[in-house]
Structure 1
Amino acid sequence: MKGMVRGITAVGALLVSEAVIAAAEPAAASTAAPGGLGAQLAQTVIGLLLVVGLIFFLAWLLRRMQGSAQQGAQVIEVIGTRAIGPRDRLLLVQVGKEQILIGHTPGSIEALHVLAEPVDVPASARQATPEFAQRLLELMGKDQKDKK
């Protein structure tokens, strides 16, 4: 997949360099022929639009390729979090059928306990938005239930 992106990028760079060379060549020739100013301007605008279009196309293609690679890779899921200090928190993580309690501090991440029996957490109890976003909505006086 990375090889494909590199190949597309190389083709894009080649097209951009050809557009720049093509735009530069008429500039030298237009000094001799004053009547070609409109044609030169049109060629420059078309070249610029081509380059901008190529950039947007490559960005779209890269997003599509990254999205397809991440869809099948969701084997780790954060079930719940709890802040135990300003920068320390506990995380309950599901990996396959196993649940692990993890301690997270700014300097380390440690597995504290592997649960023998997985905790059943209903879908309504799982936090759909990050903690900061939830608290910001609460402070602004908006409730998540209003959005649904």
Structure 2
Amino acid sequence: MIGWLRSAVAAFLMAGSAWALADTPAPLSGGALIKPSDYLGQILVSLTLVLLIIFVGAWLLRRFGRFASVAEGQLSVLGALSVGQRERIMLVQVGREQLLIGVTSSRISTLHRLETPINLDDTDTQPGPSGQTMAESFAKRLQAAMTQRMTREDR
């Protein structure tokens, strides 16, 4: 963004210095003389318009995100937990199925496929029927899934 601003300032300064230095009119092919000050306004308006189009396009791209994906809303990240500098455990929903995946800088692996999906509403901090919050419930399920996986790998 700063690079664009520097380019715009440099263009305005160059246009201004060219206008100030050009005292002698340039002859046209038809013999008429045109001063640079006659078309300097057009150049500045055109440059401003082009910069405005670029900034509006960048804002629209940031505002509305990327193009529509193949999943079309069927893929979403429900939760994430950082377990290291570059390691994360993520709960991902694909259609009706929920997966617990491990993400590192070089690998993504499925840790557990949840048989009963976790219902994540806006009630994360309200106690459920068992007296636990959704975060506590998720933590216990995560711990159980990790222990189950460890016991399977030990066999």
TM-score, length-normalised on structure 1?
0.49
Q: Higher helix fraction: Structure 1 or Structure 2?
A: 1
Bigger RCO of structures 1 and 2 (CA < 8 A, at least 6 apart)? 1
Q: Which has the larger radius of gyration?
A: 2
